[in-house]
Homo-oligomer: A and B are copies of this chain.
């Protein structure tokens, strides 16, 4: 069942949270997203091969998958777009991804299937027209991927934040937003310390997000942050967290005996 994040009758944001079979512990839970504006659809971070069939079937309840205008990819990891070959066959969509990854995406695909259909987002981001609105591609480089974008929907005021704000929890837990920030930190901290690249770039990102009107921060794994108060709690936390290369020393780079 999809979770409806926003719906004003003409504009809808949906989240699919239960398509990865995480019961065995083998695969990390992941959220996929659909934005529909006046009958035009964009799929965000549709996931890998294991979610393709489930997402295709679920989407049919809300939007005809073959009419997708875009696949918007925050970066090029397998849980983000390993299914891209199948989506390209099923629809005429364009794939939008950082220009750093446009020449890597064809490696997911059968020969020729991606030709002319993968467009690079420049480092500074861009506005992507969708129906009567735009989706804004917001720079999030090195959080964690070198070429990384988040997607901001100005109608719903949702920031789809990719790996920023991720928590590692079972999919059932995702049906409720974060309620108590302090007790939620334990599900985020290990991931952010190791997968986010450095505190310096996190601070730049926090400064940028503080200039935006964000009602909901929605990561690609785990629970969402709803309301400005909760979004701010997250910004305050990540702003001071040492992470990634900040924590590396020569001890981490030694030839194993």
**Contact among B100, B109, B253, B257 with A50 in the assembled complex (CB-CB below 8 Å):** B109
A111 to B, closest residue via Cβ = B50
- Please indicate the chain B residues that have their CB under 8 angstroms from the CB of A8 in the complex: none
A118 to B, closest residue via Cβ = B26
Check if A232 is an interface residue, CB within 8 A of chain B: no
The answer to whether A78 touches B76, judged by C-beta atoms less than 8 angstroms apart, is yes
- A:176-216 near B, CB below 8 Å: 194-195, 197-198, 200-201, 204-205, 207-208, 211-212
Check if A233 is an interface residue, CB within 8 A of chain B: no
The answer to whether B49 touches A142, judged by C-beta atoms less than 8 angstroms apart, is no
Stretch in A34-42, A61-69, A124-132 touching the partner: A124-132
Beyond A78-B78, A201-B248, A245-B142, whether A208 also contacts B253 by CB under 8 A is yes
The answer to whether B256 touches A107, judged by C-beta atoms less than 8 angstroms apart, is no
- Please indicate the chain B residues that have their CB under 8 angstroms from the CB of A152 in the complex: 255
CA of A161 to CA of B114 in the docked complex: distance in angstroms? 28
Q: Output the least CB separation between A83 and chain B (Å).
A: 8
**Contact among B82, B100, B140, B144 with A107 in the assembled complex (CB-CB below 8 Å):** B82
Of A78, A204, A212, A248, most buried by chain B (CB within 10 Å of CB) is: A78
A48 to B, closest residue via Cβ = B107
A114 to B, closest residue via Cβ = B26
Beyond A142-B248, A195-B146, A245-B198, whether A207 also contacts B253 by CB under 8 A is yes
The answer to whether B125 touches A255, judged by C-beta atoms less than 8 angstroms apart, is yes
Q: How many copies does the complex hold?
A: 2
- State the majority secondary structure of interface residues on A: loop
Of A30, A76, A85, A111, most buried by chain B (CB within 10 Å of CB) is: A111
19 extra interchain contacts, Cβ-Cβ under 8 A, other than A27-B104, A141-B253? A27-B103, A27-B107, A28-B103, A50-B109, A51-B107, A76-B77, A77-B107, A78-B78, A78-B82, A78-B104, A78-B107, A78-B108, A127-B257, A139-B254, A142-B245, A208-B254, A208-B255, A211-B255, A245-B245
Among all A-B residue pairs, the 10 with the closest Cβ atoms:
A48-B107, A27-B106, A125-B256, A204-B253, A78-B107, A28-B103, A79-B107, A208-B253, A78-B108, A198-B245
Count A-side interface residues using an 8 Å CB cutoff. Answer: 71
- Please indicate the chain B residues that have their CB under 8 angstroms from the CB of A79 in the complex: 104, 107
Check if A123 is an interface residue, CB within 8 A of chain B: yes
- Please indicate the chain B residues that have their CB under 8 angstroms from the CB of A82 in the complex: 78, 82, 107-108
A200 to B, closest residue via Cβ = B245
